[in-house]
Structure 1
Amino acid sequence: MTLTRLGCAGWSISREAAPAFDGAGSHLERYAAVLNAVEINSSFYRPHKPQTYARWAASVPDDFRFSVKLPRSITHERRLQDASALIGQFAAEAGALGNKLGCVLVQLPPSLRLDTVAAERVFPQLHEHFGCMLACEARHASWFSDEATALLHAHHITRVIADPPAGQPGPYIATTDQSYVRLHGSPRIYYSTYDEAYLQSVAAWLAHRDGWCIFDNTAAGAAILNALLLQQLQAAAPAPDRQNWQA
């Protein structure tokens, strides 16, 4: 049996989705009673205190997991260069999630070409600080080369599969035995909803893999509704012969 960590980039609950989250408590507590994962994107823009992360961890069930986005100060400002102090600071903050930290997401800027020297330095530092899954959403074509695939595989970094695809559309080449899917909304990124036929194909693809599926089409509230529909489709046991979904 496979396990999907299913959730959204944030735990806001729209008015339309509210009936599915009718429990008591904060938005996070209600969200975590229905879905089993969430991606914290706000950490990309600003730091959070360890006490904040600890409070979030205490608000969710034992089997719930957080994915936390690496700060842009590391990926976009330093561009993976001379980032050891910043990685240590981030680990001291997000590490307060404890065993509920399930993944650290490294999203690279579209202009950042494959830099093997920087990557060979940063990826071990991340593993040193975090004992969880590491996922990389690279968006420059050079990160989809054979050299990049070998690099990610060697450092046990999961290559993100994204929709819309960035960097290099085409066959998805896995770099670990887990998957990390980020669905940003298409055709209008961050806004568009996904129809049932598309989500059925995603459900069938996920049925054969362990990993994460995060909806980032949050701008108009589509993410939470899409996550709920995908959850229902997964529960309905998608047909095993539909394995060819690609973002």
Structure 2
Amino acid sequence: MGVIKVGTSSWADQMLIRSGWYPRAVNTPAGRLGFYAERFPLVEVDTSHYAIPLPETAAGWVNATPPGFTFDVKAFRLFTGHHTPVAALPAELRPAGGSSRIRWRDLSAGAYDELWHRFHAALAPIAAADRLGAVLLQFPPWLTRGDAAKRRIVDAARRCRPWRVGVELRHSSWFTDDAVVDTVTFLREHGLSYVCVDMPQGHPSSVPPILTATADLAVVRFHGHSAAWASGDKQEKFRYAYGAAELRRWSELLRELADQCAELHVLMNNCCGDQAQRDAARLAELLGVAVAGQPAGA
């Protein structure tokens, strides 16, 4: 069975900070990350989706965590086709014109290449310290299956190399009965890790949680099943506590998935208060996996 690492999709969310999960004396960004890393061996970096961090910021993350800790880092949203506020770009790379939001095609080739260069520079301290798990390419819900979309995915993944790449697809066209095998085969042929998501079903953005490994690393992200998923309210959208029976069943499924790969990353993204941390700890216990610095069952 492959190595299983369990963590959450945030360590600095304001709702988490206000929840009281961190002791009052742990009141700095570095202190909070260090406290988190004493309890979990894995975290997802979400802030990089909204803006490319500075290399000094990433170096600070490394300094706050022990050897063996792992960061899965979301790619900057412009790279995956999301509409991006111009203000999220460095001033010298912003295109001329009055638009407040842009897509990647609105940039010159030189500016786009430079953004990728800065993204690599930002992640370099994490990779150099052997703490980079994978770059997560989270594509928008409107990316429908097709040859052009596949070329877009391959190009973004190529720009992430030599790092491992996870791909999260959020349009149902990739997972219809006649498409799912092709989707899995496509990812496997290009050495890309399929990112499985547990989420509410029956919504336009819903995709099924298909548990399969397409590379040496597999990733499963847990959104929960809030009835308010389509509300647009982030706090309510992720307000969900996994029940004991759900977590037991998922622990069985995750062990089976870990038999298909060298490493499995499990990330709780029901980030409302400290619910993700609580559910991650319960799931890790069911899986019998160690938290950072402690043997399993400690």
TM-score bin (small chain): 0.7 to 0.9
Deviations 1:103-135 (A, max 9, x none): 111111111112434543653553454333211
Q: Find the aligned partners of 2:154 and 2:60 in 1 and give their Cα distance.
A: 28
1:38 aligned to 20, 43, 48, which one? Answer: 43
Q: Find the aligned partners of 2:161 and 2:32 in 1 and give their Cα distance.
A: 27
1:148 aligned to 179, 183, 194, which one? Answer: 183
Give the paired residue count: 235
* CA drift at 1:218: 0.8
* CA drift at 1:172: 3.8
Structure number with larger C-alpha Rg: 2
Conserved 8 A contact 2:6-2:280: yes
C-alpha change, 1:236 and 1:218, in structure 2 (3 Å) is closer
Match of 1:91 in 2: 120
C-alpha change, 1:147 and 1:34, in structure 2 (3 Å) is same
Deviations 1:140-191 (A, max 9, x none): 1232323322221111111111111655426544322432111012124321
The answer to whether residue 216 in structure 2 is matched with residue 211 in structure 1 is: no
User: 3-state SS of the aligned residue for 2:117?
Assistant: helix
Conserved 8 A contact 2:62-2:126: yes
Match of 1:245 in 2: none
Q: What one-letter code is carried by the residue in structure 2 that aligns with 1:104? A: V
Deviations 1:31-76 (A, max 9, x none): 1011000000111011210010011012111100100001111111
User: 3-state SS of the aligned residue for 2:220?
Assistant: strand
Judge which range, 33-42 or 92-101, deviates more: 92-101
* CA drift at 1:79: 6.8
User: 3-state SS of the aligned residue for 2:165?
Assistant: strand
C-alpha change, 1:171 and 1:163, in structure 2 (3 Å) is closer
Conserved 8 A contact 2:198-2:224: yes
RMSD: 2.9
The answer to whether residue 242 in structure 2 is matched with residue 194 in structure 1 is: yes
Q: Find the aligned partners of 1:134 and 1:236 in 2 and give their Cα distance.
A: 24
* CA drift at 1:198: 0.9
Q: What one-letter code is carried by the residue in structure 1 that aligns with 2:244? A: E
Identity %: 28
C-alpha change, 1:138 and 1:125, in structure 2 (3 Å) is closer
Q: What one-letter code is carried by the residue in structure 1 that aligns with 2:43? A: V
C-alpha change, 1:80 and 1:169, in structure 2 (3 Å) is farther
Conserved 8 A contact 2:79-2:156: no
1:132 aligned to 157, 160, 163, which one? Answer: 163
Q: Find the aligned partners of 1:51 and 1:123 in 2 and give their Cα distance.
A: 29
Q: How do 1:72-83 residues align onto structure 2 when only pairs under 5 Å count?
A: 72-75=77-80, 76-77=82-83
Give the gaps of 5 or more residues in structure 2.
84-101, 228-236, 291-298
Match of 1:241 in 2: none
Match of 1:185 in 2: 224
Judge which range, 160-169 or 10-19, deviates more: 10-19
C-alpha change, 1:125 and 1:162, in structure 2 (3 Å) is closer
Which structure carries more relative contact order (alpha carbon 8 Å, separation 6+)? 2
C-alpha change, 1:97 and 1:89, in structure 2 (3 Å) is same
Deviations 1:86-116 (A, max 9, x none): 3332112122212211111111111111243
Q: Find the aligned partners of 1:148 and 1:16 in 2 and give their Cα distance.
A: 42
1:227 aligned to 265, 280, 284, which one? Answer: 280
* CA drift at 1:199: 1.1
Judge which range, 62-71 or 156-165, deviates more: 156-165
Match of 2:147 in 1: 116
C-alpha change, 1:130 and 1:5, in structure 2 (3 Å) is farther
* TM value normalised by structure 2: 0.69
